Amino acid sequence: MSFTTTGEHEAIRKAVREFGEEELRPVAREHDEEKKYPEDLRRAAAELDFVAPHIPEEYGGAGGSAGFGSSMILKYGDEWMKEEWLPRIAGGESASCSCISEPAHGSNVAGMETTAEKDGDEWVIDGNKMWITNGTVADVAVVMAKTSPGEGHKGITAFLVSTDRDGWQPSRIDNKLGIRASDLAEVVIDDVRVSEDNVIGAVDQGFYQLMDFFASGRTGVAAQAVGAAQGAFDAALDYAGEREQFDQKIGEFQAIRHKLADMATDIEAARSLTYRAAANVEEGNPDQAARFAAMAKLFASEHAVEVADEALQVFGGSGYVTDYPAERYYRDARITKIYEGTSEIQKNVIADRLL
């Protein structure tokens, strides 16, 4: 089956690439080395509808088909939640986060220990969340908590929580291997109280609601992996055309040419599989979307690390230091094998749909 992009897709791709080359590339090393969250760049990207393009125009978004973080609010949130938060997120005024993983429970979502107990017309949330993207910069969070602790995945509820609540205690994690400019946090939730109106969707339906976004989230990480691989390849290709050894460009040596050929092939295969996953997500076919999203995430992430490793090899000793971007691409690619479900989890998902 063939998947092609439209003229609108290509226009968006061109605009995003221009933004990346003009605004992100010049400061990428600085933000990585200083572990600095790019607040100004997020706001600048929001002005171009790059931050939350899936948010409908009525809430200040672009009405596109891809999104992250606020999707739960958009699909299952009450109207007041959408009106209050979606315009702020789309406009870059506020960031959002999703609090799912815990110190002892990553892939095992059903094992989470964070609880929410009813107290009159309020819910009292207690627990500890880990590896939370945007954890210290978000103004609003979607928090998954057990409302029926003995029911496993059947007893989880999603809550909308403003992060200025008493008892909300985020701590930034800044000793990461890669994606150092991304905000990552541990969040201690200590007796945080929210109204019963802050339930997103329905009580005890949070896990099922969350399942709606596994495929899109994994496809997004696959796309991230393709981007990391492409960046590493482009840097290696340029370097191979500049660096000279034994009186010739290193790109003229067959060993290097074969590396570049393998890298380019892996990237195109990963990109095609990611497009197929994205098409199935957009078409709303749950089983096919889950299958191809897992395949795309697995293949793209595994090969992104391999491509980045080969790119670093092309640079030789220069690739091992921060003077060139090769080592950063390698570090940044590695996370794609872990979050939104590890490679091992993706293999389980794929196998479940084969047998």
What residues act catalytically? Answer: 340
Q: What is the 3-state secondary structure (H, E, C) of 134-188?
A: CCCCCCEEEEEEECCHHHHHHHEEEEEEECCCCCEEEEECCCCCCCCCCCEEEEE
Q: Residues 6 or more apart from 177 whose CB is under 8 A from it?
A: 331, 334, 335
Tokens of 264: 């380019």
Q: Are strands 122-133 and 184-195 parallel, antiparallel or unpaired?
A: antiparallel
Q: Are strands 140-146 and 96-99 parallel, antiparallel or unpaired?
A: parallel
Integer Cα distance of 189 and 193 in angstroms: 10
Ranges assigned E (strand) in 174-246: 184-195, 199-200, 244-245
- Residue 224, CB half-sphere, CA atoms under 13 Å: how many? 22
Integer Cα distance of 206 and 193 in angstroms: 18
Residue 150 sits at φ, ψ, to 5 deg, of -85, 5
> Helices 214-240 and 254-283 sit at what angle, rounded to 10 degrees?
160
Integer Cα distance of 225 and 15 in angstroms: 20
Q: Report how many helices (DSSP H) and strands (DSSP E) the chain contains, helices first.
A: 11, 10
Integer Cα distance of 119 and 242 in angstroms: 67
